[in-house]
Chains A and B, each alone.
Chain A
């Protein structure tokens, strides 16, 4: 444990990094599948099935990253977990209801009587909307230091809308890569329509963050620290410009660079996240509690870390395996021989 110096310093740092990576992976992965859910009302009935099929094999594992992130907050920084979640009691509740509605709708829309399908499609959309809005709201409240004032709630409402549009944007970008034909053309249109959400969202948080505290302001606007941060806005601007340019040429008949917008969008999320992490470090509850003050006992963190070093590569490995197995354009999801038989007889 003494290998890297004081374990009360490097262990909390390592866990903060692990938690950060989990949140980031969650935001990108569940971001696109929540986004696909948000696009449901824009799609016609056949497209709806294809939309769901494009995320069917992945959504469950994607949400597990949220459980891991919240689990790491819980196990590594218990006091912070308590403060953050009691402060965000209501939005957390709304998010949970959203995730419940959405998760069960995946199954019910395919298994309930056909007459109920529109209802479950609606529940799928509403669930995705509740989850996205509440996550955006929590993001805004977190940036504002978790205090409930009218101004903060107003700001959080804005970030709720921006993140939701941002999710629909990355969801649409996922669909460009994952679909073909008419739906792919629609996806290009939806991606164009959603990009402003991401730009405004990143912009709003970037404008607000330095004014939350003098400490962050100094980190941003005093030399040489400002230079460390400088690549982020430059890279972000370049990515937005690339997406804008690429979308004008998509979809191509040979499907070249169909994954470009998604990869660029994911990179944008990474830039925004790195900027936030850099600004708020070392605080886990903004300006109140640092990761070092709230960390669990080193011996407990160490026993988790040993397991993590073995298990995390395996998780990443079989997650990649799963994306590899389900590569290519989305096709209808079926594991039901009887539906197959019915379909064959119908044709």
Chain B
């Protein structure tokens, strides 16, 4: 393997590892704010218990996100110097705004949010929690702006092969940005909803009957059930937007080789780029035309239109995009079915009396959001290939000339570290859940009520 492919794998590995944690912290920040506000409003201890359990997982996820994010900021220079040399005039300010308006905000107020409860008034602590959540969302906004611009660039001119910004409004509000931003925020919301529901379900399976766990399960299931239809709608809109701007990607997602009307929806197949056809295809007639054009004889783009006359392939590797897309959809459908079934059961039986099988299903889906998010990102990012910036800069022109052996060596080391850290991360979450379920149920103790409870809970003893 050459430096190009190895660098792509390395960047893919780094960014895949990184995105796992922001996906959690973006929405978990808001969820913590919700817990804190519920506690402020009701003075009910269960909300503080939920806050104190989930803030630990937030802190852990945040640290993982920060350190893997630092890696990302260096990788541009170490592996892809051509990227900033060509589009630095656009990418630079966007990254700078991310660092300045989001990273510092998150990092500084995280300290106050985690450790400052006993040193500042309650409203300052609530405010710090808000600013951390707001910071993670701002960070998402800027990075999605840049990523979307790489898919649908506009507002620039090329002078001597270098991109110069001409219209910042057009750059920030580029055509795919609103769709991608909403899609990502909802993805984060769903990831956290299933994480909370999953860990709470597991604690119930372990015999934990605390009120805070029941409430957390309820919040998780209701959030998931509310967000998943929105996500399916947003995903559909995003797909239509992609059809308009990146037809080759949609052709690969659909596994459609030849442009035409009445294109079937391929449920399963093994796309073969050598013979340029699908094997073992199972499909619904006219399905793709109906979804993409909303009529049975709608014209759907085909991959064969993206092959240059000299045979150079100008579309992404079909199988990678095709399968990633199906994995994302599959997890989405599972999320829909499980969360709505969960809502029905919550109404009928209450959070404390859920069937064991359903609790097991939620436990199994604890990290379902991760899989869907990664699959979605693979679809859109591999789907942009062979371009790094659609129509402006190809991936192979941006790679550094670092020797392949060096890239391979560091890649292996990164993978080993990431694997170890993922294992450690998940085991610590399980350990914290185990410890919380076994620990003395807090409700059994004689706690002060009302305003005093807040003082007790929020002032760590010396």
Contact B462 A86 (CB under 8 A): no
B77 CB contact (under 8 Å) in A82, A101, A104, A311: A82
**In the complex, per-residue mask of A137-161: 1 if CB is within 8 Å of any chain B CB, else 0:** 0000000000000000000000000
A300 CB contact (under 8 Å) in B90, B103, B110, B428: B90
Contact A86 B81 (CB under 8 A): yes
Asked if A322 is an interface residue, CB under 8 A from chain B, the answer is yes
Task: Please provide the chain B residues from 61 to 100 with a CB less than 8 Å away from any CB of chain A in the complex.
Answer: 62-64, 66-71, 73-74, 76-78, 81-82, 84-85, 88-93, 95-97, 99-100
What is the CA–CA distance of A78 and B88 in the complex, to the nearest angstrom?
A: 6
Q: Which residues of B contact A311 (CB under 8 A)?
A: 100-101
Q: At the interface with chain B, which of A1-9, A91-99, A214-222, A264-272? A: A91-99
Q: At the interface with chain A, which of B248-256, B304-312, B432-440? A: B432-440
Asked if B192 is an interface residue, CB under 8 A from chain A, the answer is no
Q: At the interface with chain B, which of A69-77, A177-185, A248-256? A: A69-77
Q: Which residues of B contact A78 (CB under 8 A)?
A: 81, 84-85, 88, 92
**In the complex, per-residue mask of A304-345: 1 if CB is within 8 Å of any chain B CB, else 0:** 100110011001001101100110000111111110111111
Contact A300 B165 (CB under 8 A): yes
Q: How far is the CB of B97 from chain A (nearest CB, A)?
A: 6
What is the CA–CA distance of A92 and B407 in the complex, to the nearest angstrom?
A: 13
- Number of residues in A with C-beta < 8 Å to the partner? 74
**In the complex, per-residue mask of B147-166: 1 if CB is within 8 Å of any chain A CB, else 0:** 00000000000000010110
Q: Which residues of A contact B108 (CB under 8 A)?
A: 61, 315, 318-319, 321-322
What is the CA–CA distance of A260 and B181 in the complex, to the nearest angstrom?
A: 49
Contact B119 A336 (CB under 8 A): no
Asked if B341 is an interface residue, CB under 8 A from chain A, the answer is no
Q: Which residues of A contact B100 (CB under 8 A)?
A: 68, 307-308, 311-312, 315
What is the CA–CA distance of A3 and B182 in the complex, to the nearest angstrom?
A: 40
Q: At the interface with chain A, which of B230-238, B270-278, B398-406? A: B398-406
A326 CB contact (under 8 Å) in B48, B76, B97, B111: B111
Q: Which residues of B contact A297 (CB under 8 A)?
A: 89, 162, 164-165
**In the complex, per-residue mask of A82-109: 1 if CB is within 8 Å of any chain B CB, else 0:** 1111100110110011011111101110
Beta-carbon nearest neighbor of B427 in chain A: A112
Q: Which residues of A contact B96 (CB under 8 A)?
A: 71-72, 75, 304, 307-308
Q: Which residues of A contact B104 (CB under 8 A)?
A: 61, 64, 68, 315, 318-319
Contact A338 B93 (CB under 8 A): no
Contact A67 B99 (CB under 8 A): yes
A92 CB contact (under 8 Å) in B74, B92, B101, B164: B74
Contact A326 B119 (CB under 8 A): yes
Asked if B261 is an interface residue, CB under 8 A from chain A, the answer is no
What is the CA–CA distance of A64 and B66 in the complex, to the nearest angstrom?
A: 9
A90 CB contact (under 8 Å) in B48, B82, B112, B406: B406
Asked if B60 is an interface residue, CB under 8 A from chain A, the answer is yes
Beta-carbon nearest neighbor of B460 in chain A: A334
Asked if B107 is an interface residue, CB under 8 A from chain A, the answer is yes
What is the CA–CA distance of A97 and B120 in the complex, to the nearest angstrom?
A: 35
What is the CA–CA distance of A75 and B60 in the complex, to the nearest angstrom?
A: 30
Asked if B431 is an interface residue, CB under 8 A from chain A, the answer is yes
A325 CB contact (under 8 Å) in B81, B84, B119, B406: B119
What is the CA–CA distance of A142 and B171 in the complex, to the nearest angstrom?
A: 36
Contact A93 B111 (CB under 8 A): no
What is the CA–CA distance of A326 and B63 in the complex, to the nearest angstrom?
A: 20
What is the CA–CA distance of A165 and B275 in the complex, to the nearest angstrom?
A: 62
Asked if B179 is an interface residue, CB under 8 A from chain A, the answer is no
Q: How far is the CB of B17 from chain A (nearest CB, A)?
A: 10
* CB-CB under 8 A for A303 and B70, given A74-B88, A82-B81, A84-B77: no
Task: Please provide the chain B residues from 390 to 433 with a CB less than 8 Å away from any CB of chain A in the complex.
Answer: 400-402, 406, 410, 413-414, 417, 421, 424, 427-428, 431-432
Q: Which residues of B contact A308 (CB under 8 A)?
A: 96, 100
What is the CA–CA distance of A84 and B73 in the complex, to the nearest angstrom?
A: 14
Contact A338 B462 (CB under 8 A): no
Contact B431 A113 (CB under 8 A): yes
Asked if B374 is an interface residue, CB under 8 A from chain A, the answer is no
What is the CA–CA distance of A283 and B457 in the complex, to the nearest angstrom?
A: 55
Contact A335 B440 (CB under 8 A): no
* CB-CB under 8 A for A60 and B73, given A85-B78, A100-B417, A303-B168: no
Beta-carbon nearest neighbor of B111 in chain A: A57
Q: How far is the CB of B46 from chain A (nearest CB, A)?
A: 12
Contact B99 A64 (CB under 8 A): yes
Contact B99 A86 (CB under 8 A): no
Beta-carbon nearest neighbor of A56 in chain B: B115
> Most chain-A Cβ atoms within 10 A of its Cβ — which of B64, B85, B88, B428?
B88
Asked if B360 is an interface residue, CB under 8 A from chain A, the answer is no
Asked if A81 is an interface residue, CB under 8 A from chain B, the answer is yes
Asked if A168 is an interface residue, CB under 8 A from chain B, the answer is no
Task: Please provide the chain B residues from 24 to 64 with a CB less than 8 Å away from any CB of chain A in the complex.
Answer: 48-49, 52, 55-56, 59-60, 62-64
Asked if A286 is an interface residue, CB under 8 A from chain B, the answer is no
Contact B49 A100 (CB under 8 A): no
Asked if A288 is an interface residue, CB under 8 A from chain B, the answer is no
* CB-CB under 8 A for A85 and B74, given A67-B99, A307-B101, A308-B100: yes
What is the CA–CA distance of A111 and B64 in the complex, to the nearest angstrom?
A: 14
* CB-CB under 8 A for A64 and B103, given A104-B421, A107-B59: yes
Beta-carbon nearest neighbor of B65 in chain A: A103
Q: How far is the CB of B415 from chain A (nearest CB, A)?
A: 12
What is the CA–CA distance of A68 and B402 in the complex, to the nearest angstrom?
A: 25
Q: Which residues of B contact A299 (CB under 8 A)?
A: 89, 164-165
Asked if B347 is an interface residue, CB under 8 A from chain A, the answer is no
Asked if B116 is an interface residue, CB under 8 A from chain A, the answer is yes
Q: Which residues of B contact A322 (CB under 8 A)?
A: 108-109, 111-112
Q: How far is the CB of B459 from chain A (nearest CB, A)?
A: 9
What is the CA–CA distance of A57 and B77 in the complex, to the nearest angstrom?
A: 30
Q: Which residues of B contact A72 (CB under 8 A)?
A: 96
What is the CA–CA distance of A112 and B427 in the complex, to the nearest angstrom?
A: 8
What is the CA–CA distance of A82 and B93 in the complex, to the nearest angstrom?
A: 17
Q: Which residues of B contact A303 (CB under 8 A)?
A: 93, 165, 168
Q: How far is the CB of B51 from chain A (nearest CB, A)?
A: 9
Contact B93 A300 (CB under 8 A): yes
- What are 21 inter-chain pairs, A to B, with CB distance below 8 A? A57-B111, A57-B116, A60-B66, A67-B73, A67-B103, A74-B92, A82-B400, A84-B77, A86-B78, A89-B406, A96-B74, A97-B413, A104-B421, A111-B56, A111-B428, A296-B92, A300-B165, A304-B92, A325-B119, A335-B114, A337-B457
A-B complex: 7 closest residue pairs judged by Cβ atoms: A82-B81, A75-B92, A85-B77, A57-B111, A78-B88, A334-B460, A103-B67
Which residue numbers of B lie inside 8 Å of A, CB to CB? 48-49, 52, 55-56, 59-60, 62-64, 66-71, 73-74, 76-78, 81-82, 84-85, 88-93, 95-97, 99-101, 103-105, 107-112, 114-117, 119-120, 162, 164-165, 168, 400-402, 406, 410, 413-414, 417, 421, 424, 427-428, 431-432, 435-436, 439-440, 442, 445, 457, 460-462
Which residue numbers of A lie inside 8 Å of B, CB to CB? 56-58, 60-61, 63-64, 66-68, 70-76, 78-79, 81-86, 89-90, 92-93, 96-97, 99-104, 106-108, 111-113, 296-297, 299-300, 303-304, 307-308, 311-312, 315, 318-319, 321-322, 325-326, 331-338, 340-345
